[in-house]
Structure formats: structure tokens, C-alpha cells
Amino acid sequence: MRVPPWLILVLLGVLLAGASWWRLEVGPWPGNPDVAAQVMAIRQGHLVSGLLVGSSLALAGVLLQGLLRNPLASPDIMGLASGAGLAVMLASYIGYRIGAEAPGGTNPLGPAVIGSFVVLGLVYLLSQRRGVIDPVSMVLVGVIVSITAAAGTMLVQQLMPDRGLHTARWLFGGLDEEAGTPRRIACAALLLLMGGWAMAQSRVLDAAMMSPDEARSVGIRLGRVRAFQFVGSGLLTGGAVALAGPVGFVGLVAPHLARGLVGPAHAWSQPASVLIGALLVVSADASIRVFEVSSGRVPLGVLTALLGGPFFLALLVRGAGRGRADHLR
């Protein structure tokens, strides 16, 4: 018997609540009540950032996979996250060179959004063959752009006066210790705006997954839908990167798990993806507090990549197998 989608959402909410409690409680507690209150405030800020980052990346993954009609599309594989991180590093370097306060360090949201838009537009243009997006080319272009942007980030880091030690998260990913309430509010506003639009247009997004001719035959304005998906994925990725740098594979894994649990309908898969994305990031952030290494903590993006990399390979192998089967038929 199939479990109702609403019940799965409730169960995901319970799991997320448990992971949130774990994140607040993990780690040593100081004996001084005043210091303990400060520690709790810091952990609460980290929890809010983790919830926003995971939810934003997951929803961005849903919008990207619909925009490009490719289940392998995600903010990190398409290079959006790395491009946003590179833009923040460039903004910081420019601020350093002109003697001003580094814009990427104090307010990275603007550069991150611009970087994600530039990379998304570049991948979109380079992936087209005679006006049609080629899925294989799209993945290859996205991976190449992502690697190039990561290399550019490393180069800019080496040009910084401290060799970029305080900006390492823009390469590996990690919740920003200095992210203040205004930045979190801005990212939350982007998430609510894009999430509200996506839920209101869930049936339209379902129809947009058909071929262009079929979608237009039922009255779908594909140009407008694609524009919203383009803008939404760029804004959400930029917001997530502004809080945590390029955290990998959350935008790929969450939508796939959601569709496997509640089905492909956007009315159910979108909220499920948001819950799963938040659950993944919050759980990973709590885990790195438990398993510390001699040099400090494992970066958040490293842990999500270790978990998401095999998942991505499994999707590639399964897709190749289906392609061979279709060819034999």
C-alpha cells in the first residue's frame, strides 16, 4: 500500500525537527549560564542558516531540472554554486585592491546572485545544439564551468593578503560564522518568494515538463515559465552561496529523493524537496561537530560531496543503461 504524500511530508517534518534539536544540542556546553546562552544563540543562527541553505538549494534543483528538462541538473553540477563563489571572491579582492571594505565579506548576496546568473546563462547558451538543449553537452559544460570557476576561486584566494584563509568556505562550502540577521532575512525572503510562486504554479510546472508542442497545446506560456525558473534558480542559489559558499549535491539529491517518495507532481515533490534539502544540510552540519579531525572540522561542502558523489554516479550509470536499452529496442 502506497503511503499518502501528505503523511510523508509530516514524517519528513518530524525528522527535520529531530535533526534541528540535534544541531542545537550537539557539542560541549559551558558551565557559565551567560556563556551557555551565547553558545545557544550562535547555534540557533547556524540552524537557521542550515535550514535556509538546504531549502534554497533543493528548490533551485527542482527549478533547474524543470528548466533544462534534465534530472542531472543541479546548482553545483551546472556550475552555479562555483560561479557564485567566484563572484564573491572577486568582489572581496576588488574591495581589497581599492582599499575599501571587502563587499564579498560583508554583503556577499549581490555578487553571489550575479555570479550564479552569469554561469547559468553561459551553460544554457553553450549547451544548445540547433536551438535545442543537449543533455549530455549540458552536463559536460556545467562540470567544466564548475571546475574552472573553482580554480578561479583558488587563484583569487592566493592573491588575497592572508591567502584567503578567512574565505575558504567560498571554495569548499561551510556555514558563514559571521552571517548576520539581515543576510538571513534577505535569503529567507527570496526562498519564500520563489517557493510561493513555485507552489502556486505547480500544475503549470507539471505541464511544462511535457514537450514544448504539448505544453503550448494546453495553453502553457513556456517563455514566461522558463523565465521564472531561470530567475528563481539563480536567486535561490545566490542566496544559499551567500550563507554557506558552494555546498554540493544537495540540489541534486533532494529532488530525486522527493520524487521517489511522493511522486513527480510538483505540488508534493517541491515541499518534499525543501524538507529533504534542509534535513540534509542540518544533519551534515551537526555531524561535522561530532566527527572532528586534528586540523579542525571537516568543511560542510566536503561531507555533502562525499555523500552526493556516489549518488550522482549512480544516476549517470542508470541513465546510460536506459539509453542503451532504448537503443536496442
Could you write out the DSSP letters of every residue in 150-172?
Answer: HHHHHHHHHHSTTTTGGGTHHHH
For the chain, the domain total comes to 1
pLDDT at 323: 43
Residue of 60, 159, 51, 163 whose CA lies nearest to 119 = 60
Q: What is the pLDDT of residues 109-119, one digit of tens each?
A: 888 899 999 99
Band of residue 156 on the pLDDT scale cut at 50, 70, 90: confident
pTM value is 0.87
Give the residue-averaged pLDDT of 12-33. Answer: 89
pLDDT at 324: 37
pLDDT at 15 over 60: yes
CATH number at residue 145: 1.10.3470.10
Q: What is the pLDDT of residues 236-292, one digit of tens each?
A: 999 998 898 888 889 999 999 999 999 999 999 999 999 999 999 999 999 888 876
pLDDT at 309: 76
Percentage of residues in the chain having pLDDT higher than 70:
87
Q: Rounded mean pLDDT of the chain?
A: 83
Long-range contacts of 269-273 (CB under 8 A, 24+ apart): 269/62, 270/59, 270/62, 270/195, 270/198, 270/199, 270/202, 271/9, 271/199, 272/5, 272/8, 272/9, 272/12, 273/58, 273/59, 273/61, 273/62
Domain range enclosing 253? 5-328
Q: Between these two residues, 257 and 135, which has the higher pLDDT value?
A: 257
pLDDT at 59: 96
pLDDT at 325 over 60: no
Could you write out the DSSP letters of every residue in 94-136?
Answer: HHHHTTS--HHHH--HHHHHHHHHHHHHHHHHHTEETTEE-HH
pLDDT at 231 over 50: yes
